[in-house]
Structure 1
Amino acid sequence: MSLLVTSDTTTLSYWLNWRVFLCSVWVLAPIPFAVYILWKYECPDNSKSVKNCHKEHERIFWHGDETWKPCLKQIHPLWLLAFRLVGFFILSATLIADLVVHGFDILLYYTQWTFVLVTIYFGIGSIISICGCYPHCKIATALNAHHAQMDTENGLFIPLSFDGASLEVRRNEKSSIYDLGKLEFANSRLSQIFQVIFQMSAGAVMLTDCVYWFIIFPFLTLKDYDMNVLTVLTHSINLVVLLGDTALNSLRFPWFRISYFIMFTGVYVIFQWIIHASLSLWWPYPFLDLSATFAPVWYLSVALMHLPCYALYALIMGLKRYILYRWFLQ
């Protein structure tokens, strides 16, 4: 959907006015606060943050094994791996088809930025699931073989007394194996990036799909816009597969990581400003045009939408936890 250029965006008069100043405040002001929140809650080496914030509670947000283990023990990790692989190929095929049909100019849209982000999420998630499932299956096979060997050696002999020391040793050996895997993933930068992308893409997907279907789509309907399959897919399939992964995974959803979502949108808007200051191009979204009289109102409205969009996904996560504890974990 290419929009006509309303004015020359490369002139100083376009940028030196009160509308641009207000829009800059709405976009740039939240970024320092987002950085401060991340510095306070995310940095493990920040001793002040550990003292001022929830101490032990603050340190539970990095768990490498949660990136590849399902939310229920009854679900094998291979099912989550299979879903992520299917999701990655569906998203990749849709993105490639969109680029072939509409060209690389489509990447100017925030929707495509979000779509690429979700595709990266499923790509990294597939790699992490493969790395997690392999030692998991290998350890499970070794333990089963060990139990089978012990059963063969003992035959039908069932001791009346319980060898607590032997059982404790076996538990310690098993625990040490899994602790080693947890430590490896907990220290993995890839796992940390993966968890950040999850929170970032969750909010961004809710924002893009809500803005499109509730704001842009009604406007296009009035203009007799010809809807195509790719447009529907790029504004729906990303949310569908992300919700499917959310239903299966065991990732957490801390509120302070809305900061990544805010920074992601801020980077996109700043990128658009730099591009339009250099070249006189059409705006991918009409409410991004700074020459419009109500541009500050639009910018503020979209900025405020970050909170309910992130809260809506947090509500979905809370509903999932409620269902798990109410029906499966009791």
Structure 2
Amino acid sequence: MINNMAIELEWYDLVCFGIVGVTLVGSLWVVWMHEGSSKSEDERLLAGGEENGTVIGGVRSTKLWSSCWPGMHPLWLLLIRFLSFLTLAVLQTLDVCDYDVTIFVYYTEWTFTLVMIYFALGTIISAHGCWQYINKPPLQNEEVDLFLRRDLEESMPTNPIACKDKETKASISLYSQYVEEEFKQIVGFWGYLMQITYQTSAGAVILTDIVFWCVIVPFLSISHFKLNMLMGAMHSLNAVFLLLDTALNNLPFPWFRVTYFMLWSCGYIIFQWIIHACGFTWWPYPFLELDTPWAPIWYLCLAVVHIPCYGFYSLIVKAKNMILIRFFPPALFRT
């Protein structure tokens, strides 16, 4: 079968393979370049060096389960994430019962599952964060700095020769970093996984719903496609719940993580190639077909469209931050 497939390959097939291959390698390179610097970013965060609220490497663990809205108890975010996960799980269960597991040949099901994973991780991390919040409320940065400076000033000798300004500032800085580590921990593997899942889901949901409502429904109606209430809910509630979480959460949205979104789509396309090489003949999306000279144009457009989809969601996050900064004092707005 492999030999037959190799004989049937055309030049446009090779171009499509090249487009996906370049996207895959380029995305991995960007991930390696930026995620590889996470250690230095964590050190910068511990020193209090967040710039304009933009986080490139790691984030404070409290940002995973706290809300950006002043005065909002983290239990509300936990409740919303849990109800979102529960609703999406019910919808996908009904979908699988109607169409069996072969429904997972669709990109929609992949994205829907990814959004469910995000809400599952968010529920678990929010629950743990609420437990920490209730049992040991975190100290504010101003209170920590005031306590540290007062403690150090009282413990320093009064001899001016022994208390040089430079040494005092260095001691305060080192001691502050050490104690602040006890108050707030930098997120680990699960924190990164939650962030990556959130940012990948954001771009994938925009792409999925736009393609479904603007391309498939009006132009690609085919015999085995029939729009119903369940299908409409699955192509809308995923975005609704994710946007609701975005309106409340305190997670960053760095530009370079569009590469995870691209890697996600590359994984789906490679999956389609593999099952077709194994004998699967039907393409769930006609624009993924390889047996046409127009295929490279479609594949190139699909690669490019990831950027505006991710950028559109990034604008939503920035708009939320601008609204909060405008209507709430900077001291209250958690960025």
Aligned partner of 2:33 in structure 1 is: 40
Residues 178, 14 of structure 1: CA spacing in aligned structure 2 closer, same or farther, 3 A cutoff? farther
Deviation (angstroms), 1:220: 4.0
How many positions carry a matched residue from both structures? 290
Aligned partner of 1:69 in structure 2 is: 66
Deviation (angstroms), 1:22: 1.2
Q: Is 1:17 the equivalent of 2:19?
A: no
Given that residues 118 and 201 in structure 1 are in contact (C-alpha distance below 8 angstroms), is that contact kept between their aligned partners in structure 2?
Answer: yes
**What residue identity is the alignment partner of 1:234?**
M
**What residue identity is the alignment partner of 1:236?**
S
Q: How many Å separate the matches in 2 of 1:268 and 1:107? A: 10
Matches within 5 A, 1:220-239: 220=220, 226-239=226-239
Aligned partner of 1:323 in structure 2 is: 323
Q: How many Å separate the matches in 1 of 2:91 and 2:180? A: 38
Q: 1:29 is paired with a residue of what secondary structure?
A: helix
Aligned partner of 1:4 in structure 2 is: none
Aligned partner of 2:83 in structure 1 is: 86
Q: Is 1:139 the equivalent of 2:136?
A: yes
Aligned partner of 1:214 in structure 2 is: 214
Aligned partner of 1:305 in structure 2 is: 305
Matches within 5 A, 1:191-202: 191-202=191-202
Aligned partner of 2:294 in structure 1 is: 294
Deviation (angstroms), 1:280: 3.0
Given that residues 206 and 309 in structure 1 are in contact (C-alpha distance below 8 angstroms), is that contact kept between their aligned partners in structure 2?
Answer: yes
Q: 2:184 is paired with a residue of what secondary structure?
A: helix
Which sits farther off after the overlay, 236-245 or 226-235?
226-235
Given that residues 74 and 126 in structure 2 are in contact (C-alpha distance below 8 angstroms), is that contact kept between their aligned partners in structure 1?
Answer: yes
Residues 15, 124 of structure 1: CA spacing in aligned structure 2 closer, same or farther, 3 A cutoff? farther
**What residue identity is the alignment partner of 1:118?**
V
Q: 1:305 is paired with a residue of what secondary structure?
A: helix
Cα offsets for 1:238-297 (capped at 9, x unmatched): 110000000000000000011101111111101110111012331111111111231111
Q: How many Å separate the matches in 2 of 1:262 and 1:131? A: 31
Residues 99, 10 of structure 1: CA spacing in aligned structure 2 closer, same or farther, 3 A cutoff? farther
Given that residues 10 and 278 in structure 1 are in contact (C-alpha distance below 8 angstroms), is that contact kept between their aligned partners in structure 2?
Answer: no
Relative to the length of structure 2, the TM-score reads: 0.78
Matches within 5 A, 1:126-275: 126-140=123-137, 179-180=181-182, 182-183=184-185, 186-220=186-220, 226-275=226-275
Q: How many Å separate the matches in 2 of 1:222 and 1:277? A: 24
Relative to the length of structure 1, the TM-score reads: 0.80
Which sits farther off after the overlay, 21-30 or 239-248?
21-30
Deviation (angstroms), 1:45: 6.5
Deviation (angstroms), 1:219: 1.5
Given that residues 70 and 250 in structure 1 are in contact (C-alpha distance below 8 angstroms), is that contact kept between their aligned partners in structure 2?
Answer: yes
Aligned partner of 1:172 in structure 2 is: none
Given that residues 10 and 280 in structure 1 are in contact (C-alpha distance below 8 angstroms), is that contact kept between their aligned partners in structure 2?
Answer: no
> What's the RMSD between the two structures over aligned residues?
3.1
Given that residues 38 and 58 in structure 2 are in contact (C-alpha distance below 8 angstroms), is that contact kept between their aligned partners in structure 1?
Answer: no
Q: How many Å separate the matches in 2 of 1:289 and 1:304? A: 18
Deviation (angstroms), 1:234: 1.4
Q: 1:281 is paired with a residue of what secondary structure?
A: coil
Deviation (angstroms), 1:180: 3.1
Deviation (angstroms), 1:25: 1.7
Q: Percent identity?
A: 39
Q: How many Å separate the matches in 2 of 1:255 and 1:79? A: 28
Aligned partner of 1:151 in structure 2 is: none
Deviation (angstroms), 1:26: 1.6
Which sits farther off after the overlay, 12-21 or 30-39?
12-21
**What residue identity is the alignment partner of 1:266?**
C
Relative contact order, higher structure (CA 8 A, sep 6+): 1
Cα offsets for 1:31-87 (capped at 9, x unmatched): 21111111111113688xx9xxxx976665432211101012311100000000000
**What residue identity is the alignment partner of 1:130?**
A
**What residue identity is the alignment partner of 1:100?**
C
Residues 222, 250 of structure 1: CA spacing in aligned structure 2 closer, same or farther, 3 A cutoff? same
Aligned partner of 1:111 in structure 2 is: 108
**What residue identity is the alignment partner of 2:253?**
F
Q: How many Å separate the matches in 2 of 1:62 and 1:36? A: 22
Deviation (angstroms), 1:217: 1.1
**What residue identity is the alignment partner of 1:299?**
Y
Residues 106, 36 of structure 1: CA spacing in aligned structure 2 closer, same or farther, 3 A cutoff? same
Q: Which runs of 5+ in 2 are unaligned?
A: 44-48, 140-145, 152-176, 331-335
